[in-house]
């Protein structure tokens, strides 16, 4: 069974809130939430895949409704295991690099310490990133580059300063030729932005820093709000504090798409 046990849950936390929090880890089969007295609760969250357990364990010490969650599991082999698959097959939430999932949490407004973010980086470095997800990102790099820059061009092959005009051209082409809605999803929009090369490198390499996760969270917030990030004008995640555990920053950020 691919499950984690969570304790020290606030009495204010509903099953719906718990489901939203752990859905970033992957598809959930069930949640068994129980009262542990007047002020705390505990829960067993069962996932469809063992790899989701590894992501959930990474979140030990994360804050939900003002309480730091204690997360444990008896699952021994919870690292990502890939079977045979077609590279064109849709990737799942559990295929994403852990650092990317951590950025989604920050963009949503959850509070994760830099220690947790460093843990995400270490997991990616040790166990690697899903080949399916890397294939997807490289496919975007090529398809967006061809639309924006011409045949056999990639986003990663151009310096950032050339991408702003290319992004405008790509949007115009999409509007004229009616490309699929996939062109408007987060990754497609992000990779075709002036920071497209940085986005690609963030999701396909393991050499990241905690600051990189905060930057990706800002990009997600900016894409959601329709604003363009620049080095001197970025949204503030305030170490990931916003929304459910807000101090300052965005409070209406929609959850990143789980694909």
Among 44, 59, 79, the domain boundary falls at 79
pLDDT given at position 35 = 92
Asked whether residue 97 falls in the same domain as residue 113, the answer is yes
* Whether residue 100 is found in the same domain as residue 68: no
What integer pLDDT is reported at residue 140 of this predicted model?
84
Report how far apart, in Å, the C-alpha atoms of 168 and of each of 139, 173, 178, 190, 211 are.
20, 9, 15, 13, 28
Q: According to the model, what pLDDT value does residue 224 have?
A: 78
Q: What b/e string do you get for 38-51 counting C-beta neighbours within 10 Å, with b at 16 or more?
A: eeebebebebebbb
Identify the weakest region by mean pLDDT among 93-107, 139-153, 187-201, 213-227: 139-153
Nearest-angstrom CA–CA distance, 66 and 13? 10
Banded model confidence at residue 94, pLDDT cuts 50, 70, 90: confident
Distance between CA 118 and CA 109 in Å, rounded? 18
Residues 145 and 167 in one domain: yes
Percent of the chain with pLDDT over 70: 68
Whole-angstrom distance, CA of residue 59 vs CA of residue 239? 15
Question: What is the total count of domains within the chain?
Answer: 2
* pLDDT of res. 158: 62
Q: Do the domain assignments include residue 69?
A: yes
Q: How far apart are CA 64 and CA 196, in angstroms?
A: 32
- For residue 68, give the nearest of 131, 6, 160, 19 by alpha carbon: 6
At 251 the pLDDT is: 33
Whether 10 is covered by a domain: the verdict is yes
Domain that holds residue 70: 1-79
Same domain, 216 and 148: yes
Are residues 17 and 122 located together in one domain of the fold? no
When computed from its CA atoms, the radius of gyration of the chain, rounded to whole angstroms, is 19
Residue 63 pLDDT > 50, yes or no?
yes
pLDDT at 7 over 60: yes
In DSSP terms, 33 is beta-bridged to 43
**Distance separating alpha carbons of residues 101 and 93, to the nearest angstrom:** 8
CB contact burial 183-216 (16+ within 10 A = b; e otherwise): beebbbbbbbbbbbbbbbebbbeeebebebbbbb
Query: At which of 36, 52, 79 does a domain end?
Result: 79
The C-alpha atoms of residue 242 and residue 259 are separated, in whole angstroms, by 24
- Answer yes or no: is pLDDT of 61 > 70: yes
Q: What pLDDT digit, counting tens, does each position of 139-188 carry?
A: 888 887 776 666 767 767 764 445 455 555 555 544 444 433 443 478 88
Residue 244 lies in a domain: no
Q: Which residues contact 242 (CB under 8 A, 6 or more apart)?
A: 109, 248, 249, 250, 251, 253
Residues 179, 98 share a domain: yes
């Amino acid at each position: 069974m691919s499950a984690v046990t969570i304790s020290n849950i606030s009495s204010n936390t509903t099953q719906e809130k718990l489901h939203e929090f752990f859905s970033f880890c992957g598809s959930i089969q069930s949640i068994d939430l129980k009262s542990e007295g007047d002020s705390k609760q505990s829960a067993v969250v069962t996932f469809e895949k063992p790899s989701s357990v590894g992501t959930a364990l990474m979140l030990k010490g994360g804050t939900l409704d003002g309480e730091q969650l204690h997360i444990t599991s008896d699952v021994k082999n919870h690292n990502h295991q890939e079977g045979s698959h077609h590279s064109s097959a849709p990737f799942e939430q559990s295929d994403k690099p852990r650092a990317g999932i951590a950025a989604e949490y920050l963009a949503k407004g959850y509070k994760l310490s830099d220690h947790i973010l460093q843990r995400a980086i270490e997991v990616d470095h040790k166990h690697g990133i899903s080949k399916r997800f890397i294939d997807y990102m490289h496919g975007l790099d090529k398809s967006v580059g061809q639309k924006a820059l011409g045949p056999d061009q990639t986003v990663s092959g151009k310096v950032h300063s050339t991408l702003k005009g290319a992004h405008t051209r790509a949007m115009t082409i999409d509007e004229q030729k009616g490309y699929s809605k996939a062109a408007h999803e987060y990754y497609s929009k992000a990779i075709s932005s002036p920071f497209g090369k940085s986005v690609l490198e963030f999701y396909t390499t393991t050499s990241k820093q905690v600051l990189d996760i905060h930057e990706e969270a800002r990009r997600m917030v900016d894409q959601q709000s329709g604003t363009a990030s620049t080095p001197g004008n970025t949204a503030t995640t305030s170490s990931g504090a916003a929304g459910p555990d807000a101090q300052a920053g965005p409070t209406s950020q929609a959850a990143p798409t789980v694909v």
